[in-house]
Amino acid sequence: MLPSLPDPFRFTGSTSRYPGGSKRAGVPSRSRIDHVVIIDDYSTARGGATALSVLSAKLFRGLDIPVTYICGDDGANAELAALGVSIVRLNSRDLINAERAKAFVAGIHNVFAVRMIATWIRTNDTPNTSYHVHGWSKILSPAIFKALVPVARRCVVHAHDFFTACPNGAFFDYQAQTICLRRPLGVSCITTACDKRSYSHKLWRVARGSNLVRLLRNQADFGRIVLLHEKMASFFLRAGYQPERLTTIRNPIAPLSSERVEAEANDEFVFIGRLDEEKGVEDAVAATRRAGARLCVIGDGPLMERVAASGDHVRTVGWQSHAEIGQTIRQASALLMPSRYPEPFGLVAIEAAGSGIPVIMSRGAFLAEEMEGAGIALTCDTTDERAFADTLTAFREMPKHEIRLMSERAFRLSPNLASTHEEWRDALLAEYQSLISTNVMPEPSDAVMIQGALS
């Protein structure tokens, strides 16, 4: 059994320091949260979304709030279990590793995920239980929103990427290698072969996207869609979401190094992230080769083999923990973030900058304007090899004292572009509070709705 929550649980929140903070007027200053249910494909971090879902569980447990973590994988997270987090697992494989025929069906509507979540709600839900969906696209599928309908008004959906708005998950045409401005699931969208694999795979994504529209977008009772940056809103509005459903809570950061990296003393660029086309790692490899510069690549993914064999100027170190990255970047002069798609946040850019490492990034990244304006980043068209290489050369030719000043500004100012762990936690709790009605018992029809989800 989870420890009981002190009664009453009082939460006062904190005022966000970042633009577009989500502290809302009218949120009760005193409210009891019985339970927080976190839902994600994975229980251990394979990317930023799961890292944040796990972090939220830890932060809530730090306030002695009971937490249940519902996941699609095997739930093997000993750290969460040690903190008293109740883990409910589907014990399934992600779509990319599953049998093709099963993945085809489960990716659109995973009936086992529906039953798992609906059963938990039927057995454990209270009027003051909050639900937070962090990830669904790799295992759980849009079907989970069918199970969540009875508690939709207390449900927060986190848009760590664009999958809740775009079938491709990126507003990016992989075939044309351009940002996509089409209306998601409109005629032009459906007839465009923009998928990185094939048009038939695009049609599968359309089917899944249509299911998501039916179960989430068109269900106005779902409480809140949390965006990572204010600039994401226009994409979600184009996808048909109503503005009152959208709120922005910027990601929390933990610098990669507690001490400033002396970037002015180094001469190696670093890339940190998933080695996939849309992240632009191949653009970083090509630009550093043209500029005669060295590149350290931290991360893993489909392009790992190609990147590792791309030349002597590149060294690959694979996936590393946060602490290990902190050691590797001691040799970095600047971080490269050449995302080809509209990067929703770019947490790694702020984490690197918070360690004193200047950033050279795509002009299209949502953080680019702010970081360049703060004097801690340079921006360019990173898909243009010559322009990218020229920017790298210009940076390397900067006087050492200018790079040092850039590094010092980054170390000092970058935290202002995000939130602290505590501010992020409090902003999430403020959203939960705003959605919870402490005086309303479950609707009589809820049992029928849950039973329907189980069928």
pLDDT, tens digit (0-9, with 9 covering 90-100), for 131-144? 999 999 999 999 99
CB 8 within 8 A of CB 103: no
Say whether pLDDT at 79 is over 70: yes
Residue 276 is predicted with a pLDDT of 87
Domain extents in the chain: 35-251+419-454, 263-417
Residue 294 is predicted with a pLDDT of 98
Q: Compute how many other C-beta atoms are within 10 angstroms of the C-beta atom of residue 11.
A: 21
User: Distance (Å, rounded) from C-alpha 76 to C-alpha 170?
Assistant: 29
pLDDT, tens digit (0-9, with 9 covering 90-100), for 416-441? 999 999 999 999 999 999 999 643 44
CB 130 within 8 A of CB 60: no
Say whether pLDDT at 193 is over 60: yes
Say whether pLDDT at 303 is over 60: yes
pTM above 0.85, yes or no: no
User: Distance (Å, rounded) from C-alpha 330 to C-alpha 266?
Assistant: 8
With b for 16 or more beta-carbon neighbours within 10 A and e for fewer, the 113-143 pattern comes to bbbbbbebbbeebeebbbbbbbbbbbbbbbb
pLDDT, tens digit (0-9, with 9 covering 90-100), for 209-218? 999 999 999 9
Q: Which of 7-21, 32-46, 338-352 has the lowest mean pLDDT?
A: 7-21
CB 275 within 8 A of CB 299: yes
User: Distance (Å, rounded) from C-alpha 221 to C-alpha 81?
Assistant: 32
Which one, of 231, 247, 215, lies nearest residue 452 by Cα?
Answer: 215
User: Distance (Å, rounded) from C-alpha 414 to C-alpha 412?
Assistant: 6
Amino acid at 206: V
Name the phi and psi angles at 158, rounded to 5.
-95, 125
Among 3.90.1720.10, 3.40.50.970, 3.40.50.2000, 3.30.420.40, name the CATH number for the domain at 35-251+419-454: 3.40.50.2000
User: Distance (Å, rounded) from C-alpha 24 to C-alpha 41?
Assistant: 29
- Tell me how far CA of residue 405 lies from CA of 360, 362, 400, 416, in angstroms: 15, 22, 9, 17
pLDDT, tens digit (0-9, with 9 covering 90-100), for 361-384? 999 899 999 999 999 999 999 999
CB 432 within 8 A of CB 154: yes
Higher model confidence: residue 99 or residue 57?
A: 57
Tokens of residue 435, six digits: 């959605």
Say whether pLDDT at 454 is over 70: no
Per CATH, 35-251+419-454 and 263-417 having the same topology is answered yes
Averaged pLDDT of the chain? 88
Strands 67-71 vs 35-40: parallel, antiparallel or unpaired: parallel
Report the CATH number of the 263-417 domain. 3.40.50.2000
CB 349 within 8 A of CB 337: yes
User: Distance (Å, rounded) from C-alpha 370 to C-alpha 374?
Assistant: 6
User: pLDDT band at 223, cuts 50/70/90?
Assistant: confident
Tokens of residue 231, six digits: 């600039």
In the three-class reduction of DSSP (H, G, I as helix; E, B as strand; rest coil), residue 158 is classed as strand
Say whether pLDDT at 102 is over 70: yes
| Helix, strand, coil % in the chain, rounded to nearest 5 | 40, 15, 45
User: pLDDT band at 202, cuts 50/70/90?
Assistant: very high
What percentage of the chain carries pLDDT values higher than 70? 89
Higher model confidence: residue 440 or residue 125?
A: 125
Residue 130 is predicted with a pLDDT of 97
Q: Which residue, chain included where needed, has tokens 């454990």?
A: 124
Q: Which residue, chain included where needed, has tokens 């099963």?
A: 102
Count Cα neighbours of 142 within 13 Å in the Cβ-side half-sphere.
22
User: Distance (Å, rounded) from C-alpha 404 to C-alpha 333?
Assistant: 10
Task: Beginning with the edge strand found earlier in the chain, give each strand of the sheet holding 246-248 in spatial order.
Answer: 86-89, 67-71, 35-40, 129-133, 155-158, 224-227, 246-248
* 101-121 average pLDDT score: 93
User: Distance (Å, rounded) from C-alpha 74 to C-alpha 261?
Assistant: 38
Residue 388 is predicted with a pLDDT of 98
